[in-house]
Amino acid sequence: MKNYIYAAAAALGLASPAMAASHLEDVTLQLKWVTQAQFAGYYVALEQGFYEEEGLNVTVLPGGPDIAPTQVIAGGGADVTVEWMPAALAAREKGLPLVNIAQPFKSSGMMLTCWGDVGIEGPESLANRTLGVWFFGNEFPFLSWMAQLGIETDGKDENGVEVLKQGFNVDPLLQRQADCISTMTYNEYWQVIDSGVSPDELVTFKYEDQGVATLEDGLYVLEENLADPAFKDKMVRFVKASMKGWKWAEENPEDAAMIVLDYDEAGAQTEEHQIRMMGEVAKLTAGSNGALDPADYERTVQTLLAGGSDPVITAEPTGAYTLDITDAALE
């Protein structure tokens, strides 16, 4: 029957779904973390057909605790990846030539969330504390911030901090193993609240407010691929469709959250959490049309260079971003 339908469609000059798909160009996107509203724009673009409109067949690969996006793209497992700029610049300095081609997130959602009953009143009160910190590239903004505060993190200074290598949960705070933990405004902070903790029991330090925010959730490709005009053309169309998805998600946060849930094969997410997350994520993508602001890039670089005796990067990067893709996508 299917063959009959396809033949009939061909006779009428119509393309079947399979035929249409065969004319689409493949693009594989590697996410930084698991399927959640943090990546809603890409799932919206997929579900709403924005990628197909640009002639693309996009595969979205979820991330996770055992997946390093930089390693995936380095090994040829993805064409483009979502990554935080500190990790991308650190990888570039070590020899992996990642290039930022678009920046959907304008603001940082990273912060420290601390117990309010342990005497922490300001950043200077963080010394001599146990602080939960994410690693796998997520530690770089924290290390730069501590260096700027003059607080040692190597465990050798009695006036430094004890860094607790934090898993991707909030248990170290809830179990009082740490005075503060790393959280995102759209995710872990609300996990703490949902556990029964009242906001007035907590003290938070947003990296944006501390002047040490670095760019998050940019789109990165390998520099060598940008030498291929066909690849660049695909990325122009990919970014155009992705940003259309992001703006749709901003305007329709609840619907976007439901789309994300449809793609959550693990079934780990809840409707309430994803709707709330989408609302918070929309605050971070607001103000961005996808083009990287060079001033934001420079702030990130200077924050990372100010890393004391062990900076995240040791020299000003060159060629770490291009505006060519967004210039063409947004024209």
pLDDT digits (tens, 9 = 90+) for 229-256: 999 999 999 999 999 999 999 999 999 9
Q: Amino acid letter at 328?
A: A
Distance CA 67, CA 63 (A): 6
The pTM is what? 0.89
Query: What is the pLDDT, as a whole number, of residue 1?
Result: 35
Residue 92, token pair as written in the block: 């570039």
Query: What is the pLDDT, as a whole number, of residue 257?
Result: 98
Distance CA 272, CA 269 (A): 9
Residue 295: half-sphere exposure toward Cβ, Cα within 13 Å? 2
Residue 4 scores a pLDDT above 90: no
Buried-exposed string 96-114: b where 16+ CB fall within 10 A, e elsewhere: bebbbbbbbbbbbbbbbbb
Query: What is the pLDDT, as a whole number, of residue 203?
Result: 97
Distance CA 148, CA 326 (A): 33
Residue 98, token pair as written in the block: 């990642």
Distance CA 178, CA 192 (A): 13
The model's pLDDT over 72-117, given as tens digits with 9 standing for 90+, comes to 999 999 999 999 999 999 999 999 999 999 999 999 999 999 999 9
pLDDT band at residue 12 using 50, 70 and 90 as cut-offs: very low
What is the average pLDDT across 174-182?
97
Residue 67 scores a pLDDT above 80: yes
Distance separating the N- and C-terminal Cα atoms of the chain: 45
The model's pLDDT over 305-320, given as tens digits with 9 standing for 90+, comes to 886 667 788 999 999 9
Provide CB contacts within 8 A for 305, sequence distance 6+: 311, 312, 313, 314, 315, 316
Helix, strand, coil share of the chain (percent; to 5)? 45, 15, 40
Residue 174 scores a pLDDT above 70: yes
pLDDT band at residue 156 using 50, 70 and 90 as cut-offs: confident
Residue 184, token pair as written in the block: 């995102």
Query: What is the pLDDT, as a whole number, of residue 308?
Result: 63
**Domains defined along the chain, listed by start:** 20-106+215-329 (3.40.190.10), 110-210 (3.40.190.10)
Helix (H, G, I), strand (E, B) or coil at 3: helix
- Sheet containing 110-115: which strands, arranged edge to edge? 162-165, 130-133, 180-184, 110-115, 202-206
Q: Give bridge partners of residue 305 from the DSSP assignment.
A: none
Q: Give bridge partners of residue 219 from the DSSP assignment.
A: 82, 102
